Every structure is written in structure tokens, then in C-alpha cells.
Structure 1
Amino acid sequence: MPLTVLLVDDEPLVRAGLRAVLEAQPDIEVTGEAADGAAVIPLVRRLRPDVVAMDVRMPLMDGIEATRALLRTVPDPPKILMITTFENDEYVYGALRAGADGFLLKRARPAEIVNAVRLVADGESLLFPAAVRQLAARYGTGYGTAAAREELRRAALTGREADVLRLMARGLSNAEIAVRLVVGTETVKSHVSAVLAKLGARDRTQAVIAAYESGFVSPG
């Protein structure tokens, strides 16, 4: 079965460019398009895409609001990949905090676009970890607060789970973490699953943001 993608952007040329790049791949199919976030929920319910590639800024309903609404109302929602012009955009960080799984720069090369869609669909690796660190440093409203630290403390991560979270925050994949910790990849997957469950995180991106905002790891 091909990996299915829904494109949401108010610029027709952007949608056309993304469609051309993605549909050139034999394992990716663009199943639908929309020009505003307000159309996302009915399309997702009808098309059941694996990934929604969505502009962060749109005139009626932006990507942040659409992300919140989608995750709140649709069971087993698709992965959400935000499309943005600037990687240091406060809107991007707001979308990631709302539950988006990663972001894609509009100036990205075709191979990077395809790779980003595959990565976010797989949930294997955080996209642009360095940029997420910068975003956390600039816009992380809960960074280092007592409440955020207490929330992480209540998660009661084991020592090995804490090690895994630190390496996730650096953008390492499961295979890279396995090499670093000298354990098997399946062991790392188990630790990652435990970290997500304890933090109440939807995916790796949400876990990493929690790590930064609690002060568990430093954006610097």
C-alpha cells in the first residue's frame, strides 16, 4: 500500500509543486488537496491519509488551530507535517506544541521533501532537531519552570529512559541511539515507547519539546 498524503496550503503553486514531487515516488500517493485548515477534518475523515502536509499560516484557519481541532476530534489521526517559509517562526513552534509531528521548509529540495514525509509517517526521527532546539529556546513558554519540571519528575523515567530522551532531543534515530548505548534497536524502541507513555506524548516531537520546556535538556 502506498503512503498517502493530504496537501493543505492556500497557494495553488505550492500544492502543485508538492504533488509533483511526491507523486514522482512509486510508494507515495497524494489523495487530496485543500486551501484552508477548515477543510482538513472532513477530508481526513473521508480520505484517511497517513500524513497531512499543512501550511502553518493560512487566512481562515491556520495550521495551529487545524492541528488542535484534528487531534481533538479525529480518532487515530494522521501524522501532521507543517509547511513553513521560516524555520524560526513562532507559528511553527506553536504547531509543534499543539501536536504537529514535524515541519518542512518550502525551500526544501525535492529529496528533502520526500524524506521528510517518509520520516514523519514512520515516526522514527525528529525533523530538524537543531531548529527545534532554537525554537524551544526562543518560544518555549514553559522552559525550566517549576511546574514543567514537576510534570517531568512525576513521569518517573528510569535512568536508561532518561538517557534515551536526551539522545532523542539531539535528533538521533533509534538505530543511532542503539549504537550510542550499545543495545539492540528493539530495546531502544521499547524505551522510546515507555518514554512517550510516561510523558503522555503523542510522538517523539512532543516528548522532545517536553524535555526542553521542563529544563531536562537545554536548548543551548
Structure 2
Amino acid sequence: MAAATTCPNSVSIVIAEDETLLISVLPGLLHDASSGAIQVVDTCRSRSALLHVLKRAQPAVLVCDVRMPNRDGDPPTALDERYLDQLLRQSPETRVLLLTGQPDPLLAKSLIDAGAHGYVDKGIDPQQMYRIIMQINAGRRYVEPSIQAGIDQLEIREDRQVREQLLAGRRGDVLRLLLDGLSPPEIAASLSVGRKYVDKRIAEIKRITGVDTHIGIYRVCERMGIIGARGKH
């Protein structure tokens, strides 16, 4: 794709999109909305092509559909964390703005956690997309509020499930005593169980919370409200 005439301090972007109409009109719409501040340096329609384009172009921002074919003619499939990591390693300074036509909170959460800098619905207008691109280029993140609301609800459900697992049965007894500052030998004595039993329950707690230290367990429980509520159980 030939480079467009640019203005000083323009932001270079690559657009990856397999929908013919959108990839045809979006460069012009962004150029007009930004008064030339956005320079679309290249476009592509498949994942394999995108890896080559990124390596060559090294744009400031990549605007990428979350569902792309692997190669031209293949059916589009959702990006995953491993492919996003490939993109970020191929062009480490590039900021990634993902577009979706079918918001999926679970997919959005996984890609944002993996390093995506923005996530928006394709229905936004060009002026708004221009502002978001500039915000992302400036080092900030942006997730469309409706998508963020879905992620928040997902996290609430996940937290509830984790909380229930942590507080279940003897594991919950061990956790409460651990949060009260008791050592594993003291917990074993308090519950009249063996030290190996306590160590096994603590290992389960670490696995469930995804942390490796007691202070990490404390911080997760504090975030989830378990510390303030443990006296109720």
C-alpha cells in the first residue's frame, strides 16, 4: 500500500481487517477524521500477512480485528494470547487496538490481560476511533465501557467462585487462621491435624489464588473482601 501524504507528528498505523468494505474505507475515514494526523502505512487481511507487515512497518499503533483468517481464504477465527504475544514481539513499540463486531467478555479479558492496549466495538465513529488511537499512542489504555462492563461482571463471577473454593470446609479453616497470622505449625495445633495436612491445604490455596507467597494470599483475600468478612463465617 502506498504511503499517504502526512502532516508533521503524524501517527503511523497498520490496519488488519478481513472485511473488504471496512479495510477499503477505514484508512480514508481515519485520515479525514484526524486531518492527516494518522498515516495508514499498510493494511493486511490475514494473520500470516500481519506478522510480515509488522516486522517491516513497525507502526506506532496496530488496529486489528480480533477475528482474522490465518491465510487468505481461510475462515476467520479469534486471536489468542499466543498470537498476540507474537505480534508484540514482532514490533515491541507498537500499541495494539483490537476491534470486535461481536463483543465477548471472556475473549476481551484474555487479550487485554495478554497485553492489548485497547478494545472497541467496530460500530464506533471515525472521530472517536481517532481519539482512541491518539490516547493509546500516548501510552494510555482504552476499553469501550460496554465491553469493560462485561469484563467486570465476568470478574465478579470468577471472584465469587474463587471465594467459595477458598472458604470451603477445612481449607477455609486453614485460610482464616493463616490470615490471622498463625504459622503452619500453629494452624496444625489449632485444628488438631498434622503439619502435612496444613501444608497441603495451603498449597491448594496458592493454586486457587494464583500466588506463591503468604503475603500474596493476603492481598488476594483483601481484594476479594474475604479479610473483612472472615468473621462472618
Q: Say yes or no: does 1:118 pair with 2:128.
A: no
**Greater C-alpha Rg:** 2
Partner AA of 1:79 in structure 2: R
Contact 2:58 2:91 in 1 (8 A): no
> Which position in structure 2 is the counterpart of 1:17?
25
Contact 2:98 2:119 in 1 (8 A): yes
The DSSP-based 3-state class of the residue aligned with 2:12 is strand
Contact 1:57 1:91 in 2 (8 A): no
State the shift of 1:63 in Å: 3.0
The DSSP-based 3-state class of the residue aligned with 2:97 is strand
- Could you list the structure 1 runs, at least 4 aligned residues long, displaced by more than 6 angstroms after superposition: 139-142, 149-152
| Cα distance in structure 2, aligned partners of 1:100 and 1:215 | 27
State the shift of 1:27 in Å: 1.1
State the shift of 1:150 in Å: 6.2
Match of 2:85 among 53, 68, 71: 68
> Which position in structure 1 is the counterpart of 2:12?
4
> Which position in structure 2 is the counterpart of 1:162?
none
Match of 1:216 among 209, 216, 223: 223
Gaps of 5+ in 2: 1-8, 71-76, 163-207, 226-233
Q: Say yes or no: does 1:28 pair with 2:51.
A: no
| Cα distance in structure 2, aligned partners of 1:215 and 1:32 | 47
1:139-180 deviations in Å (ceiling 9; x for gaps):
7896474424668955x99xxxxxxxxxxxxxxxxxxxxxxx
> Which position in structure 1 is the counterpart of 2:198?
none
Partner AA of 2:87 in structure 1: L
- Identify if the C-alpha distance between structure 1 residues 215 and 132 changes in structure 2 by more than 3 Å, giving closer, same or farther: farther
TM-score, length of structure 1 as denominator length = 0.61
Contact 2:99 2:119 in 1 (8 A): yes
Partner AA of 1:111 in structure 2: Q
Contact 1:149 1:215 in 2 (8 A): no
| Cα distance in structure 1, aligned partners of 2:215 and 2:107 | 28
| Cα distance in structure 2, aligned partners of 1:52 and 1:77 | 10
Contact 1:142 1:148 in 2 (8 A): no
Partner AA of 1:23 in structure 2: H
TM-score, length of structure 2 as denominator length = 0.58
- Which fold has the larger relative contact order, with Cα–Cα distance below 8 Å and residues 6 or more apart in sequence? 1
1:5-55 deviations in Å (ceiling 9; x for gaps):
100011121112321221112211000001012222221111110111111
The count of aligned residue pairs is 162
